[in-house]
Amino acid sequence: MINIVWAIVFILVAPVVGGLVAGIDRKITAHMQGRVGPSILQPFYDVGKLFEKEQTVVNETQIFYAICYVIFMIFTGALFFAGGDLLLVVFALTLAQIFLVLGAFAANSPYSYVGAERELLQIMAYEPMVILTAVGMFVATKSFNVSDIASSTTPVILLIPGIFLGFLYVLTIKLRKSPFDISTSHHAHQEIVKGVTTEFSGPSLGLIEITHWYETVFLLGFVYLFFGFNPLIGVVAVIIVYLLEILIDNTNARVKWQLVVKSSWLIAAIVGMVNLAALYYLSGGVP
């Protein structure tokens, strides 16, 4: 059942929460690297400065694609938190990322082209595992509705632990953290050329940054689904998972794109498919 109230809450609150998470991330990363780091509110200041700058684009269609990227990411998160169909959520997420790729391809820049191609490779890498995660949750709870999965008393994490580990693996890609940040880095100080967002600037780049905040909140909500049987455990798990991602980001160097794709597919094939097959067999099939 779709809950419009939660969708509205996500639309209004997610940018604030996502910006704070980004600020905390940068602060913790700075301390890990022996630096003081910026204020937790620095991401908001940065985005505010972007909106004050003049809009400069190589191709006007970039703005259109950036707006579509924002709209479909908001739709993805709103549908998810409203308790909608998980498969539709996954497909909407992919469509949102495609608009970002199209925006990068619209610019006549070799750096932007390389970033767009690598963004496509990232989509190819994580998509099988994300779909397997949705299917695994269906087999575990007999429903694709997010509301049913979140309210289920079934300990999903105990039924699909392999799928959970596989999702954590590709979550590093989705959060744009090392060693899998091949299209553009999560941290600006790691880049001279910013990959897929190289040719975006001013308000359009500000929209993309806000969209990343929406995406972060959505992804953390996805992690929560594995622990939905106990809200307190779910919140603690989300915090631990994000701290683990920060640790991974600061202790690993970027790898080549070939390893990103091969390892992600291998993880999906081994832990994802094996866990799904075992669960399907033990449950006697899905009615």
Which pLDDT tens digit goes with each residue over 253-272? 888 989 999 999 999 989 88
What pTM does this model have?
0.92
Distance, in Å, from the CA atom of 132 to the CA atom of 269, rounded to the nearest integer, reads: 10
Q: Cα 276 to the chain's mean position, in Å?
A: 23
Q: What is the pLDDT of residue 156?
A: 92
Average pLDDT over residues 225-237: 93
Distance, in Å, from the CA atom of 190 to the CA atom of 247, rounded to the nearest integer, reads: 16
- φ, ψ for residue 39 (rounded to 5)? -65, 155
Q: Does the pLDDT at position 60 exceed 90?
A: no
Average pLDDT over residues 186-201: 70
Residues 103/69, Cβ–Cβ less than 8 Å: yes
